[in-house]
Structure 1
Amino acid sequence: MTIIYTILIFGIIIFIHELGHFLAARWSGVTIYEFALGMGPAIYKHKGKKTTYSLRLLPIGGYVSMAGEDEECEDENALNRKPIWKRMIIVIAGAFMNLVLGLAIMLSLYATQPIYNSTTVAQFLPNATTQATGLKVGDKIVKINKTTIFSDKDIINEVFRDSDGVVAVKVLREGKKVALPAVKFDKTGEGTKKNINIDFKVKGIKRTVFSAVDQSFKNTLSLARNSWLSVADLVTGKLDIQDLSGPVGVGQVVGQASSQGFKSLLFITAFITISIGMFNLLPFPALDGGRFIFLTIEAIRRKPINPKIEGYVNGAGLVLLLGLMVVVTLKDILGLF
């Protein structure tokens, strides 16, 4: 069942991503050769009036093949003949749809949850170090180390990312913003084995239409931002390759979530689709964000970049990404034994 759930989740996420590109391209009037779900040999094909729709053997990706995508094309409806602003929309539409899917799942989850956690301190546990170093009951935590706090999970994440657990906190206290320069959270261990002691409880928020929508947007923003923060931590050395997970590692997480119930499975799906959407927006060759950078350069230069150069750069980026995926997947497989 874990394998089935994982394939279904990735299938839905990939379909939504490629659907974004497809709809944006169709809206822009671009000639679309094929809409494919999966990679490798085709196991099913349907020839439409203008586009071939296919299901392919390997459930590891998908694509929308368009005229003029990677080469010059004389077709008047080719991608390379469309205005640059339309090409930009087509490029980011896939990631945008991933984020929309994540937000929709969040809305469904918070619409059925009676009470939500706020970021306002309600009660301290005995001998709380955070209380001794500045926090008070009624404080609404709005920033930790210059990072805006959207949800109670952000409190844990930001303290976890800190090296020593002593953080600068900005709170809203009796209607005024108050800066607390050194609030201490007790921690044990190092790296990914670090444990943070959150020694206070937060106030609950009753469900209303407004609070459900508010919490959905805030938690979607939180997950989206944390995706990029994780990449930043990887680049700066706060995380290493051992902390990454590939399809096998994600499958394990999906299995754990499914054993905890349908809501946990939905949350993991939201987490994955938001993470994939944000990852695709990174300005790295072969990703949608990298293609967007090329379009931005073209807009500034007012002439296209040599397609061969762009192809070489994107090819090199793809090789690097596939190499990283292989290494991470092998690490996940070895971790099973």
Structure 2
Amino acid sequence: MIIEGKSLWYAERLCAVNVLFQILCAVFVFSFLIFIHELGHFSVAKLSGMLVHEFSIGMGPVLFKKTVGETAYAIRALPIGGFVAVEGEDTDSNDSRSFGHAKLWKRILFVSAGALMNLILGFIILSILVGMRQVLPSNTIGGFYEGSASAEHLQEGDQILKINGSRIFTANDISFSLSLDRDGIVDFTVLRNGKTLEVPQVDFGMETAPDGTKFLHLDFYVQSQQKTFWSGTVYTVQWMISIVRQVWLSFLNLITGNFKLSELSGPVGVSTAIGQASTMGLRTFLNMVGFITVNLGVFNLLPLPALDGGRLAFLLIELITRHRVNPKYEGMIHAAGLAFLMGLVVVVSVQDVIRLLS
């Protein structure tokens, strides 16, 4: 009984340490990606001569703050965002170093720099992952698992060109396109023996996850291709483009109603995924971080108020009309957008918690 009691005690402590490790990994990844993003904004602002009041990692209450020169550097309690506070970005200012007094191309570069930094980091991580591979996956069917239903329609050696009308460039595109299917019946366009063929109504069947979510049962695997410097570079670029497409298509599917709000993951869900990936080896962890940083970069470029893409939209309007939108009204629009996004984060986070508890 004493031995069993000690074993249980050690198991509980080990579980607690594992959970703490996952939480710390998630916080570190979020903080690092936010730092890289805000560093892009900050660097361009400084190089452009803009007056930067604060460079902050995190949101909410201040944990640490130190002023160096004209800029305050802060770490805040909630690692769900960050900001670079530039003079006159959301208000009108007569200061010669304000955001509004900078040349338009500098303001466009400033607004875009955060997302570009995330995309550059994502490309570096994906390049490392490709470098760790001995071979590369293709979009050609290599074989079928036992009991495969799709083998009645598809053949080994089929190069998949389209799935439900969506172009396929990488194995990543195959997984994503099939994940969008809702009934398990999929239309393919393949290259077979040098001829392009339409293969409609391929029935995969659906499976049900423990939480009740239905998903398509993928019953084939793809061929591997030899990796060279050139093929590795091409694959990295294609992989990067594939992830960018996924973010935009997911956004469009959300707008059109093909995605439900319940299918989104917020900070809690993403943190859980990062924590789990941190225990599955370096490759899985880097894959998750690379995917998230590219997502962060593309998401921030969406033309929504409060996001970099929303601010970029106002600058493009200025570029076309030659007149800047009144900073007061633009600031009000971004404030409303921020309130909406924060509300969305709360709703999605509650859903994440409910999923975890269930």
TM-score normalised over the length of structure 2 = 0.86
Aligned to 1:97: 117
8 Å CA contact 2:187, 2:202 repeated in 1: no
C-alpha distance in structure 2 between counterparts of 1:125 and 1:36, whole Å: 51
What letter corresponds to residue 147 of structure 1 in structure 2?
S
Which blocks of at least 5 consecutive residues in structure 1 are unaligned? none
Partners of 1:292 and 1:179 in 2: CA distance? 42
Residue number in structure 1 paired with 2:34: 14
Quick check: 1:185–1:198 contact (8 Å CA) kept in 2? no
Q: After the TM superposition, which residues 216-231 of structure 1 pair with which residues of structure 2 at under 5 Å, given as runs?
A: 216-231=236-251
CA deviation digits over 1:257-297, x for unaligned, max 9?
12211221111111111111111111111111111111111
Call closer, same or farther: CA 1:273–1:72 in 2, change over 3 Å. Answer: same
How far apart in 2 are the matches of 1:169 and 1:336? 35
Q: Which amino acid aligns with 1:123?
A: G
What pairs with 1:9-48 in structure 2 (closer than 5 Å)?
9-48=29-68
The one of 147, 169, 175 equivalent to 1:156 is 175
Matched, 1:112 2:132: yes
**How high is the TM-score relative to the length of structure 1?**
0.91
1:169 aligns with 188
Q: Deviations over 1:122-181 (max 9, x none)?
A: 334566554543x443332222233221321321221231344444433344555x1415
**Uncovered stretches (5+) of structure 2, i.e. residues with no partner:** 1-20
Query: Which residue in 2 is equivalent to 1:84?
Result: 104
Q: Who is 2:86 aligned against?
A: 66
1:155 is matched by which residue type in structure 2?
I
Query: Which moved further from structure 2: 211-220 or 46-55?
Result: 46-55
Letter in 1 for 2:116: F
Q: Secondary structure in 2 aligned to 1:141? A: strand
Change over 3 Å in CA distance of 1:329–1:160 after alignment to 2: closer
Aligned to 2:200: 182
Per-residue CA deviations over 1:233-271 (Å, capped at 9, x if unaligned) read 222222222212222111221222122112211111111
Residue from 154, 166, 189 that aligns with 1:147: 166
- Deviation of 1:229 after TM superposition, in Å, equals 1.7
1:33 Cα deviation after fit? 2.0
C-alpha displacement of 1:186: 1.2
Moved over 6 A (4+): none
Deviates more, 1:197-206 or 1:320-329: 197-206
In 2: Cα distance, 1:282 partner to 1:7 partner: 24
Which residue in 1 is equivalent to 2:260?
240
- Give 2:140's aligned amino acid: T
Shift of 1:118: 0.6
Partners of 1:58 and 1:164 in 2: CA distance: 39
Cα distance in structure 1, aligned partners of 2:147 and 2:83: 56
Contact 1:294 1:305 in 2 (8 A): yes
Counting matched residue pairs gives 335
Q: Do the aligned partners of 2:184 and 2:206 also contact (CA within 8 Å) in 1? A: no
- Identical counterparts, % of pairs: 41
Given that 1:205 and 1:211 are in contact with CA atoms closer than 8 Å, whether structure 2 keeps it comes out as no
CA RMSD of aligned residues (A): 2.3
Write out per-residue CA displacement over residues 158-216 of structure 1, whole angstroms, 9 at most, x where no aligned residue: 1231344444433344555x141515141225898333233333211223222222222
